[in-house]
C-alpha cells in the first residue's frame, strides 16, 4: 500500500483523486491546495482524506511515498523539485515543466536520488492509443509515411499559455510513443485570434529522423470538436477518432491507383479500398491504467512508460514549436538537451 | 447560339461535353483529341458532333466562337495561346497554366485581343461554395480569422504533377473567391511517399493581406476521402463538408469560454455552442452553372468570375507553394506578376 | 432539508445516491439493501451514510421524509405500498409496478394519504426531451402526424422481463409527455431470439386518440446502439438522436413534392428540405433535474410531472403491449383503469 | 446482338435507355412513349434511336426480341401480356403487376410461350445486396433471427399508389432474395398524412416460414433519408446502409451479455462488440448488372434471378400488406396463388 498526496484540486485534480481513492494499492494521505475552498470541496466528497494548504506539511510527512502534482504548469518545476529533494516519488501532470532546462534538471535529480518521476501523458495509457501502438509495432501498416492530427475544441480558452502548450502535449506524447522517436525539427504557423499574444490556433509541422512527416492542428476555436488522427503507412492506413464512441480505430487497405490520362473513365467514383476493420477496444478509463502503472513502478522500481525523459522530449518539442510560432514559422531544431538515458 | 469546340476528351472532357451538349445556348461544333479512339468514344455517344485529331482544323473553322480546353496541364498554355491568336474565346481547365509567366502572357493576350478568357475553377460555381460566399459577404461571420481545409483522396495518384498542382487549385480558387484577396506568402511541408520526386501529401500554410491564416491539407493517400473546410470568423464559424449529401454547410455560434483554474469543475463536457443552422442549398450541377456563365460572358462581353486574373492568382500561388515544397518549407512570397487589371 | 432513504443499491442506485448526496436540499439518511456487500460498497464511498439491510428500520425512522426505490420491478409495488402506509413520500423507479391493478392501488393510496408519489421516468427530465416538448407545444411542427423511435442496444439482456418492459417505458413516458395523451390501442410483433420465453426484440404500434400513429422498435440485440426518435408534424419534422453528442435535436422543414410521371427528370436527387436547425440544448444531467423536481414537490406539495398517474399510464400501455406480444400481435385496447385524476 | 424496345420514357426510362445504349450485346431499336414530347427528349439525346407513340408498331417489328417496360404500374399487366402474346421477351419494372391474379397470368403465359419474363427488382443486382446475400449464404451470421429496414424519403410523394406499393417492393425483393423464402403473413399499420386515402407512412411486419421476423418502415415523409437494413443472426449481425458512400455493409460480432442485478456496476458503458468489418464492395451500377443479366438470360434461356415468380411473390406480399393496411392492421396470410415453379 503506497501512501500518496494529491497536490492541486482544480480542473483535473478531482479526476486523479477519484481514481487513487478507488485503487486498492493506494492510500490517499493528503489533499493539498493553497485555496481553502478547494480543500473543502474535496473533503465534502471524501471526508476520510486529510486536507492542508501547506505543501511543506505534505513533504514533511514521512508516511507519504509519492506526490501527485495537478497544479498550474508554472509550478510543476519548483514543486516537483522540492518533492524529489524531500525523497518523494513524483507524478506530475503534463507538460512536465515550462522549459527544457527545468525538465533536464528534474530528470537528473530523479536519477541521482533513484526516485520515480512520471508524467501524466494520459493518452499513452488510453486503450485506443495502445491499440494503434500494437498495430504499428506489428508491422501491419508497413513503414510509417505521415501522420495528421486535428485536436480542436469548441471554445475553451486558456488565459496564460498558448494553445500549443495546452493541446499539443497530447499529440506529441502520442507520436513519441507510437514512433519511438523524437522529431528533429518543427515549424509552426499560428495566430492569436481572441487574446492578443496568446495564439489560439496553430498548425505544427514535425520532421522525424525516420522521415515521418507529421502535421498537428490545434485550436481552441472550432465549430466542431475534432480528435482525429490519421496514420498512413506504406502498407495500410488507420484512422483514430477519439470522439467516436464505438469505432475509435479503423484500419484501411491501401488504394493506390493512377489517374491515367489515356483512359476514358468518366468522373471516377471508384473507391479502391479493401475491407475496413475496426478492432475491438477495451473501455477502461485511461486515468485508472495510468495510476495503476504509477503504483506498479513504485512497487517494482521499473521505469514508467511516460518517465521523465518522455516528459522532457515533449517539453523540448513544445519549446521549439513555441519558438517557431513566435518567429514567423521558422524551422526550429528540437534539442532534448541530454545524451540519452 | 455560340459554337464551341471541345478539345481533349480524356478524364474530364466527357463531363464538359455532356453539359455543353445539353445547354440551349451552345452548339458543340467539334470534339478534338489527338487520340482517334477518344474521338470514337465521344462520337459513339454523340453522333451529331464532328470529330477531328487536328487542332488547326478547329482553329481554322470560322464558325467556332470558343474553344473549351480539357487537355493535360502542360498543353494549356500553347493551346490557349494559339486559340487567342486565332481570335477564339477560351475556356481552359484549371490550373490555367504551368507557370506564372505563361499565365501573365495569356491574360495580356486576351486583354489585347478583347477575347474572353475563363478558367474552369468549377468549385467557384458550386452552390455550397457560393452560399458560403454570400454568408461571408453578409458579415454574419464577422472578421475572418482562419481557415482550414482537408482535401484528401483514397489513392488516386497523378504521374506527372505533384499533389499541390493537382488538388490545391480547388482550395486556392475557393479561398481567393471567398476572401477577395490573394495570399502574400506560403510555406509548404510535404513528402513524396509513393513516387520519388512527386510529392503526394502536402500541408500548405497561407498568409493573406487581411491577416487570415489558412492551412490546406492535400493528399492522394488517405484512409478516408475528406472535403472539409472550416472558416472561423470573429462572430460565427462555419463548416463546409462537400462529402455530406444534405448538410453541406453548417453555421455555428461562437463558444469562447475560459478555463478558469480557480473553479472546481470536473472534466468539463459543456459545449458552449448556440443553435446550429444548415441552410438549404440548391442541388444544381456546378459544371452546368459554369458553362452557362461562360456563354453569358460570351454574349455580354462581361468578365467571367473566374477570369484570366483569377486563374493567374491560382497559378502564382501554386508556383510559390511548389517552390517552398522543394526548398525545405521556406516562406515564399506570392507574386502575381501584374499590377492589377 | 428533506431526509431521504435510498432503497436498492444495484445497477441504478449508485446514480441516484450520487445525485441526492450532492443536492443541497436533501440529506441521505439511509442506504438500504438486503445484500450486505452492496451496503459495504455504498458506505466505502459515502462513509457518512447509515446502512441497513432491514427495510422496516427505514420505515420506522420518523426522520425519514421519503424513500427512493431502485429495486427490481417485482418489488416496486409492495415496497412502495408499505412506504405509503408508513406515511412516507415515495419516488419509485420505472416502471412503477408490474401490473395496472397495482399501479391503480398505489395512485389511490397516495391520493388518500396526501403523499407524493413520483416515478423515475428520467427521460422526461432530460434537456433534449424537454426541448422537443417546448417545440411541439409552440406549434412549430403543426399537427403531429406520426412518430417512430428506435431504442436498440448492443447486447445487454435482462433475465426476467421482456425487452418491452425493459426499454419501452422510456419511449412511452416520452410520448405521453410530448403528446399529452395516452394511446388507445397497441399491437406488438416480437420474438424471443436468445432466451426462450423472454422476447428480446419487439415492434410496437400505438394509436393515439388524436390520430397520431407511433412505432417503437426496442431490442437488446443490435449491431449498433440507436436512440433515434423522429416526429413528423404537418408543418415541420424533427429528429431527436440521443447518441449524438452535440446535435441531439434537429428541426427540418417539410419537403412534400409529387413524383410527376409526366415530367422527364432523370434519377431525382433533389432534397426539398429548407434550412435545418439544431437548437442549443443544456448539458445538465437529467437525474439531477429529476431529483431536484422531487424535492421541490415535497416542499410545495405540487404534483410531480411524472406522478403516479403518469406511471400508471405507462404500466397500462406496457401491460397491453405485453398481451399483444403474447397473442399474435392482436390489437389490444389500453385501459388505465381510472376515471381521471 | 439482341434488339430491344424501351417502352415508357418518364421517370425511370432514361436510366434504362442509357444502360441498354451502352451495352455491347444490345441494340435499342425503339423508344416508345405515348407522349410525343417524351420521345423528342429521348431522341435529342440519342438521335440514332427510332421513336414511336404506337406500341403496336413496336410489337409488330419482327426484329424486336424484347420489350423493356418502364410505364406506370397500372399498365404493366396489359402491356406485358400483349408483348408475350406477340412473342416478345419481357423485362418489366417493379412491381410486376397491380394484383396477384395478373401476376399469375403473366407467369403462366411466359411459361407456356417459353419466353423470358424478368422484373426490374434492381436492388437484387446491387453489389452491397449481393454481398449480404453471400455473407448470409456462407453461414457467417448463423441462423437469421430478425430484420429491420427503414426506407424513408424526404418528401417525394406519389399521387396514385400508396407508399407500400411504391417503396416496399425494394425491401420485399431484397428479403425474398436473401432469405430464399416468401413470408407467410403480414400486418401493416399506416396513415395517410398528406393525401386522404393514400397512405404515406407504413410499418410492415412480416413472418417468414423459417421464423424470421421482419419489420419494414416505409414513408415518403421524413426529416432524413434512410436506407438502413439490419440483419441479426444467431452468430453475427450486419448493417447495410445504402446512403453510406464507402462502408455500405458492416459486420458485427455478437455482444450478448446479461444485466446482473447482483453486480454493482455503475451506469454501464461497455460495448461488448468484437471487431467490426466493412467488406470491400464493387461500385458497379446495379442497372448495368441487371441489364447484362437480362441479355444473358435471353442468350442462354436461363431463368432470371428476378423472374416472374420472384415478381409474383412481391406482388402477393404487397397485396396482402395493402389489405392489412386498409383493415386495421389485421394479420393477413400471403398467398402466391401458385403451386411452385
Could you tell me if A64 and A197 lie in one domain?
A: no
What integer pLDDT is reported at residue A284 of this predicted model? 87
Closest C-alpha to B205, from B64, B321, B114: B321
A224 part of contact set with chain C, CB < 8 Å: yes
Q: What is the pLDDT of residue B267?
A: 36
pLDDT at position C321: 98
Of the pLDDT bands very low, low, confident and very high (cuts 50, 70, 90), residue C30 is: very high
Contacts of B48 in chain D (CB under 8 A): 47
Task: Answer yes or no: is pLDDT of A205 > 50.
Answer: yes
Out of A273-277, C272-276, D238-242, pick the least confident: C272-276
Average per-residue pLDDT for chain A: 91
Report the pLDDT averaged over residues D172-198.
Answer: 96
On whether residue D264 sits in a domain, the answer given is yes
Which segments of chain B have a pLDDT < 50? 260-271, 339-341
Query: Residue A160's pLDDT is what?
Result: 80
pLDDT at residue C257 greater than cutoff 90: no
Question: pLDDT class for A152, splitting at 50, 70, 90?
Answer: very high
- Which of chain A's residues have a Cβ under 8 Å away from the Cβ of C225? 246
Q: Nearest to residue D247, comparing CAs of A246, B279, B158?
A: A246
Asked if the Cβ–Cβ distance from A271 to D278 is below 8 Å, we say no
Do both C104 and C168 map to the same domain? no
CA angle (D118 as vertex; D113, D121 as ends), nearest 5: 160
By C-alpha distance, the chain D residue nearest B48 is: D47
Q: Cell for D119?
A: 422484373
Check residue B197 and give left, alpha or beta (phi > 0: left; psi -120 to 50: alpha).
left
The pLDDT value recorded for residue A286 is 93
- The reply to whether A57 and A150 lie within a common domain is no
Task: Name the H helices within chain A.
Answer: 13-22, 36-45, 55-60, 73-85, 100-113, 127-137, 163-179, 286-300, 308-325
Between these two residues, C18 and A123, which has the higher pLDDT value?
A123
A262/B162 Cα distance (integer angstroms)? 18
Q: What is the mean pLDDT of residues A217-242?
A: 93
> How confident is the model at residue B93, as a pLDDT?
97
Distance from CA of C127 to the nearest CA of B (A): 13
Q: How many CB atoms lie within 10 A of CB B333?
A: 12
CATH number, domain of C98, equals 3.40.50.720
**pLDDT greater at residue B14 or residue A268:** B14
Residue B36 lies in a domain: yes
- Interface mutation target, options C246, C247, C281, chain A, most CBs of A under 10 Å: C246
Among D54, D14, D50, smallest CA distance to D31 is for D50
Task: Collapse the DSSP code of C53 into the 3-class scheme (helix H, G, I; strand E, B; otherwise coil) and give the result.
Answer: coil
Mean pLDDT of the region D236-260? 84
* Amino acid B223: pLDDT: 87
| Res D265 pLDDT > 60 | no
What's the domain count of chain B?
Answer: 2
Asked if B250 and B277 sit in the same domain, the reply is yes
Q: Which of D273, D277, D283 sits opposite A269 (nearest CB)?
A: D283
The CA distance from D184 to B200, in Å, is 57
Q: What is the pLDDT of residue C45?
A: 78
Tell me the residue ranges of DSSP E strands in C103-200.
117-120, 144-152, 156-157, 185-191
Which one of B121, B153, B170 terminates a domain? Answer: B121
Chains near B with 3+ CB pairs less than 8 A apart are: A, C, D
Cβ atoms of D27 and D3 within 8 Å: the answer is yes
- Residues linked to residue C72 through DSSP beta bridges, in sequence order: none
The pLDDT confidence band at residue A300, using thresholds 50, 70 and 90, is very high
My answer on whether B25 and B103 are in the same domain is yes
Q: Is C245 on the interface with A (CB under 8 A)?
A: yes
B291 located within any domain: no
Boundary of a domain, candidates B121, B138, B168: B121
Q: Is the pLDDT of residue D264 over 50?
A: no
**Which residue has 436492388 as its cell numbers?**
D123
At D195, give phi and psi (nearest 5°). -100, 120
Whether chain D has a CB inside 8 Å of the CB on B225: the answer is: yes
Identify whether residues B95 and B147 lie together within a single domain: no
Among A210-214, C159-163, D136-140, D166-170, the range scoring the smallest mean pLDDT is: C159-163
Task: Tell me the Cα Rg of chain B.
Answer: 22
Q: Mean pLDDT throughout A240-246? A: 90
CA distance B10 to D33: 35
List pLDDT tens digits, range C194-220: 889 999 999 999 999 999 999 999 999
| Residue in C191, C211, C256 closest to D194 by CB | C256
Whether the per-residue pLDDT at A266 is higher than 50: the answer is no
* Same domain assignment for residues B173 and B135: yes
In a domain, C340, yes or no: no
First and final C-alpha spacing in chain D: 29
ipTM of the complex: 0.91
Tell me: pLDDT of C297 over 80: yes
Same domain, A143 and A32: no
Contacts with A47 from chain C: Cβ below 8 Å: 47-48
**Stronger pLDDT, D304 or A18, i.e. the higher one:** D304
Partner residue opposite D157 with nearest CB, options C190, C201, C256? C256
Q: Would B136 be classed as within a structural domain?
A: yes
Q: Are residues C82 and C142 in the same domain?
A: no
Provide the pLDDT confidence category of residue A178 given band limits of 50, 70 and 90: very high
Give pLDDT, residue D257. Answer: 63
Do D162 and D261 belong together in one domain? yes
Q: How confident is the model at residue D259 (pLDDT cuts 50, 70, 90)?
A: low
Mean predicted confidence (pLDDT) in D120-127: 97
- Asked which of B121, B147, B172 is the last residue of a domain, the reply is B121
Contact call for A225 and C246, based on CB within 8 A: yes
Give the integer Cα–Cα distance in Å for C200 and D196.
Answer: 36
Cα(D290)–Cα(D127) distance, rounded to whole angstroms?
11
What distances in angstroms separate CA D306 from CA A340, B301, C62, D112, D336, one per listed residue? Answer: 71, 57, 76, 18, 15
pLDDT band of residue C265 (cuts 50, 70, 90) is very low
Residues A196 and A106 in one domain: no
What are the CA-CA distances from residue D174 to residues A53, A252, B49, C190, D249 (Å)?
70, 29, 42, 21, 14
Could you list the residue range(s) of the whole structural domain that residue A106 is in? 2-123+294-301
d(CA D130, CA D283): 12
Question: Is B301 within the bounds of a domain?
Answer: no
Q: Is residue D338 part of a domain?
A: no
Q: Which residues pair with B227 in a beta bridge?
A: B151
The average confidence (pLDDT) of chain C is 91
pLDDT above 70 covers a percentage of chain D that reads 93
Q: Is residue D339 part of a domain?
A: no
Q: Which residues of D touch A283 (CB under 8 A)?
A: 269-271
Cβ contact A276–D247 (<8 Å): yes
D115 and D158 housed in the same domain: no
User: How high is the pLDDT of residue B246?
Assistant: 84
Kindly report the CATH number assigned to the domain that includes residue C208.
3.30.360.10
Q: Flag if C280 and B275 touch (Cβ within 8 Å).
A: yes
Residue A132 above 80 pLDDT?
yes
The alpha carbon of residue B282 is apart from the nearest alpha carbon of chain C, in Å, by 8
> Does residue C22 sit at the B interface (CB-CB below 8 Å)?
no
Amino acid at each position: 500500500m503506497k501512501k500518496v498526496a494529491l497536490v492541486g484540486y482544480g480542473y483535473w485534480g478531482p479526476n486523479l483523486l477519484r481514481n487513487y481513492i478507488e485503487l486498492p494499492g493506494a492510500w490517499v494521505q493528503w489533499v493539498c491546495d493553497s485555496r481553502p475552498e478547494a480543500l473543502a470541496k474535496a473533503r465534502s466528497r471524501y471526508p476520510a482524506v486529510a486536507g492542508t494548504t501547506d505543501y511543506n506539511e505534505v513533504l514533511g510527512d514521512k508516511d507519504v511515498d509519492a506526490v501527485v502534482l495537478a497544479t498550474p504548469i508554472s509550478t510543476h518545476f519548483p514543486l516537483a523539485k522540492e518533492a524529489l529533494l524531500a525523497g518523494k516519488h513524483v507524478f506530475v501532470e503534463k507538460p512536465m515543466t515550462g522549459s527544457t532546462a527545468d525538465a533536464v534538471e528534474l530528470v537528473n535529480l530523479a536519477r541521482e536520488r533513484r526516485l520515480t518521476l512520471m508524467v501524466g501523458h494520459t493518452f499513452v495509457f488510453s486503450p485506443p492509443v495502445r491499440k494503434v501502438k500494437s498495430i504499428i509495432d506489428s508491422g501491419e501498416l508497413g513503414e510509417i509515411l505521415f501522420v495528421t492530427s486535428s485536436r480542436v475544441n469548441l471554445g475553451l480558452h486558456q488565459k496564460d499559455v498558448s494553445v500549443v502548450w495546452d493541446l499539443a502535449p497530447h499529440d506529441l506524447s502520442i507520436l513519441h510513443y507510437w514512433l519511438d522517436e523524437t522529431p528533429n525539427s518543427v515549424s509552426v504557423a499560428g495566430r492569436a485570434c481572441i487574446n492578443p499574444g496568446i495564439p489560439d490556433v496553430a498548425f505544427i509541422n514535425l520532421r522525424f529522423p525516420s522521415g515521418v512527416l507529421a502535421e498537428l492542428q490545434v485550436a481552441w476555436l472550432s465549430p466542431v470538436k475534432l480528435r482525429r488522427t490519421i496514420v498512413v503507412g506504406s502498407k495500410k492506413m488507420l484512422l483514430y477518432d477519439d470522439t467516436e464512441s464505438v469505432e475509435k480505430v479503423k484500419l484501411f487497405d491501401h488504394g493506390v491507383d493512377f489517374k491515367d490520362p489515356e483512359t476514358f473513365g468518366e468522373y471516377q467514383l471508384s473507391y479502391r479500398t479493401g475491407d475496413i476493420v475496426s478492432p475491438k477496444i477495451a473501455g477502461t478509463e485511461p486515468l485508472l491504467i495510468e495510476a495503476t502503472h504509477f503504483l506498479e513502478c513504485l512497487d517494482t522500481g521499473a521505469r514508467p512508460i511516460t518517465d521523465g525523459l518522455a516528459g522532457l522530449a515533449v517539453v523540448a518539442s513544445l519549446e521549439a514549436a513555441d519558438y517557431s510560432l513566435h518567429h514567423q514559422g521558422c524551422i526550429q531544431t528540437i534539442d532534448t538537451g541530454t545524451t540519452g538515458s
